[in-house]
Structure 1
Amino acid sequence: MGSAIYPSLAGKRVVITGGGSGIGAGLVEAFVNQEADVHFIDILKDDAQALVDRLDGKPTFHECDLTDLDALAAVFRQLAPVDVLVNNAANDDRHALMDITPDYWDNRIAVNLRHVLFATQAVAPGMKSRGGGAVINFGSISWHLGLENLALYETSKAGIEGMTRALARELGEDNIRVNCVVPGNVKTPRQSKWYSPEGEAEIVEAQALKTRIQPHHVASMVLFLASDDGAVCTGHNYWVDAGWG
């Protein structure tokens, strides 16, 4: 089955955070297939370069630690103006409540939440100057389900959903749409580290649709929200979870 092509995305400058692997790599490939001008930010240099090579050099990789806000600002100054920002980057390392320290709190918030706001802040003026744009944030089904050993990750992802509502209202007058995609459990090499085949089978059993979610399923939703076809969609969550949540 072929995927939709959105003519409005051709030539648009798209920036994807955490685009070197997993869902992010699927997003990069999807926007490349739309003939967009695709840039992605990551710290995983080897994975990122392998992705660029696999896609015939079409996307551009920018190595940057998103917790370094000065470095992040420098990347966006180089890329401005941007038409589409996809705030995908996150890290779901497991942690028990009694192991959390103030330093670990600050680190997890920086890794999973803080950069979303500052990346959006960086692209908003350029989007306004071009008559509008689209920001797509990434939430998570994890906090809706209350999964174990993810308190700080889930706190961050819940915050992103609230931030999405706030920024959609603030930026709406500039025709900048801000939405949040909430994936279920997506089959990636990283997720395979956390779940055994038996665990994956339990996830599928809990879903209404009995299939494993793949990165391209999530990318399809992001493409729609980024395109002109999603022109009046803003301030809401869009679930891609096969009916698990």
Structure 2
Amino acid sequence: MMPSARFADLEGASVLITGGGSGIGAALTEGFVRQGARVAFIDIAEEPSRALCEALAETGNRPLHLKADLADVGALRAAVAEAAARHGPATVLVNNAARDDRHAAEDVTPEEWDANLAVNLRPHFFTVQAVVPGMKEAGHGAIVNFTSTSFMLNMGDMPAYTIAKAGIVGLTKGMAGRYGRQGIRVNAIAPGWVVTERQRKLWVKGDNLDSHIARQAIPRMMVADDMVGPCLFLASDASAMLTAQTLIVDGGVL
């Protein structure tokens, strides 16, 4: 369920979302579209992205899908430039894209390590780098980086992923310190277990979901829409003096 709150400053804002075609990213795309923002999202997957754009066309505010492999920094930069050409330079960036593939620490090769961080950490930095000039010119900007509670919970079955997610917190704090004087705020959201279609297909097994929900202070399954309100808040001027922070949205596990 989309949040009922309206953020007037997001109407007409140029918003760029990575990995915005499915899962949490699709919910974020819809959330900003329904706020009246001009939304562009980068996603390598064509079919779900096309379906999302068609579904949101009924709002009268169809988002722009830009196909690019985020591991290709040149393609990423080109997509950011195209979004700016179509919608104006982004004043809101949501770095959402990630892949939580499981892998054993003992088996990871240098090539697999590099490939994992090329999706889960490196694009966050280079997308920030690409949008900052436009934000400086505008005199303001809000960047929201999606990290995860996985590294806070000592999860040991995806070390490259959890290391990348911890690195996003460092990136958030460093970029907040660097660009705050230019009116650019940088914050992070750390979701708990958000049950998307991918999660249900790959990682919900036996009673593990029920066991996790039992640990939450709010005992219901979290879904992608639950991430929209926190993200809109951090992107809007409702959080005007909030930067360098990580907002944990996990139903109260931590």
What is the TM-score when the length of structure 2 is the normalising length? 0.94
Instruction: Say if 2:231 is the partner of 1:230.
Output: no
Which residue identity does 2:35 align to in structure 1?
Q
**Partner SS, residue 21 of structure 2:** coil
Task: Find out whether 1:144 has 2:144 as its counterpart.
Answer: no
**Counterpart of 2:109?**
101
How many residues are aligned here?
245
Q: Confirm or deny that 1:162 pairs with 2:170.
A: yes
Deviation at 1:197, TM superposition (A): 5.5
**Aligned counterparts of 1:44 and 1:244: Cα–Cα separation in 2:** 32
Match of 1:78 in 2: 82
Letter in 2 for 1:183: P
Q: Which residue of 2 aligns with 1:20?
A: 21
**Greater shift in the superposed pair: 48-57 or 81-90:** 48-57
For residues 208 and 46 of structure 2, the distance between their equivalents in structure 1, rounded to whole angstroms, comes to 30
- Structure 1 residue 66: deviation in Å? 0.2
- The residue number in structure 2 matching 1:51 is 52
Give the drift of 1:225.
0.6
Distance 1:184 1:50 in 2: 27
- Partner Cα separation in structure 2 for residue 125 and residue 189 of structure 1: 36
The answer to whether 1:124 aligns with 2:132 is: yes
SS of residue in 1 equivalent to 2:124: helix
Structure 2 portions without partners, runs of 5+: none
**Residue 208 of structure 1: SS of its match in structure 2?**
coil
Instruction: Write the distance in 1 (CA, Å) between the matches of 2:16 and 2:206.
Output: 34
Task: Please give the secondary structure, in 2, of the residue aligned with 1:143.
Answer: coil
Query: Taking structure 1 as the reference length, what is the TM-score of the superposition?
Result: 0.98
Partner of 1:204: 213
The residue aligned with 1:32 is: 33
Q: Aligned partners of 2:239, 2:72: CA distance in 1, in Å?
A: 32
Question: Structure 1: which 5+ runs fail to align?
Answer: none
SS in structure 1 of the partner of residue 48 of structure 2: helix
Tell me which residue corresponds to 1:171: 179
Counterpart position of 1:61:
65
Distance in 2, matches of 1:188 and 1:122, equals 29
Moved >3 Å (runs of 4+): none
